[in-house]
Structure 1
Amino acid sequence: MIIRAAVRSDLGAILRLLRDLGEAAPTQSGTVRMSSATVRAWTRIENDPERTVLVAERRGQIIGTLDLIVIANLTHDAQPWAVVDNMVVDAAYRRTGIGRALLEEAVNRAVQAGCYKIEMLAHESQSIAREFCLAMGFSASAEGFRRYL
């Protein structure tokens, strides 16, 4: 297995994985619809030097992904911080170290970028995700709030 930055040709596989997060709906044929808005969003993501979509690939198949964003900051001597979002591993490969490898690569990249912290949110209903975050050295140090627009 390798962990690498995603490229445009990975987009369909990434969208298939994101279905598990409820972010992409399959078509009747089971494939993921790739709208022009999705392609425009991908173009923005791949052109953003502070953002990296990582994928885990095994034997040519994308089996995991996450989105790493490095954010400029005015505190902590202007050190940036990072956030991980949209992390998902193919159901057939969960609990096999794929998530750990993805998140370790994200942490390494955040360290290389000079980040003073990295954040990752787990939905309160996802006890397995919460346990994973704790096992990876993250602490439940804040209470989060969201307002969907």
Structure 2
Amino acid sequence: MIIRAAIRSDLGAILRLLRDLGDATHAQSGTVRMSSAAVRAWTRIESDPDRSVLVAESRGQIIGTLDLIVVANLTHDAQPWAIIENVVVDAGCRRRGIGRALIEDALDRAARAGCYKIELLSHEDQHDAHGFYKAMGFAYSAEGFRRYL
């Protein structure tokens, strides 16, 4: 297995994985709908030097993904911080160290970018994920709020 930055040809596989997050961009037949909105979003993502979509690849198959965003900052001596989003490992490949490898790669990239912290949010119902994140050294440190627009 390798962890690498995603490329445009990975988009379909990434969208397939994101189905597990309840993303509504997929057809009910289980096939991935490559919408023009997704392609436009990917174009923006791949041109952003502060954003990395990582993939875990094994035997030519994308089996995990993670989105890392480095955020410019005015506090902490202008050191950036990072956020991890959209962590997904293929259901048939879980508990094999793939999520750990993705997180470790993201932590390394954030450290190399000079980030002083890295954050992630996980839905309150994802108890297994919470245990995993704690095992990776993340601490529960804030109460989160959202407002959907």
TM-score normalised by structure 1 residue count: 0.97
Q: Which amino acid aligns with 1:133?
A: Y
Q: Distance in 1 between matches of 2:29 and 2:123?
A: 30
Q: CA RMSD in A?
A: 0.9
Instruction: Report what 1:39 is aligned to.
Output: 39
TM-superposed CA distance for 1:27, in Å, is 2.4
| 1:129 aligned counterpart, secondary structure | helix
Matched, 1:8 2:4: no
Matched, 1:148 2:135: no
Contact between 1:16 and 1:24, CA under 8 Å: does it hold in 2?
A: no
TM-superposed CA distance for 1:39, in Å, is 0.4
| 2:105 aligned counterpart, secondary structure | helix
Alignment CA distance shift 1:12-1:24 (3 Å): farther
TM-score normalised by structure 2 residue count: 0.97
Unaligned runs of 5+ in 1: none
Q: State the percentage of identical aligned residues.
A: 77
Q: Distance in 2 between matches of 1:24 and 1:46?
A: 22
Q: Distance in 2 between matches of 1:28 and 1:80?
A: 40
Instruction: Report what 2:106 is aligned to.
Output: 106
- How do 1:22-101 and structure 2 match up within 5 A? 22-27=22-27, 29-101=29-101
TM-superposed CA distance for 1:99, in Å, is 0.2
Contact between 2:72 and 2:79, CA under 8 Å: does it hold in 1?
A: yes
Q: Distance in 2 between matches of 1:127 and 1:118?
A: 20
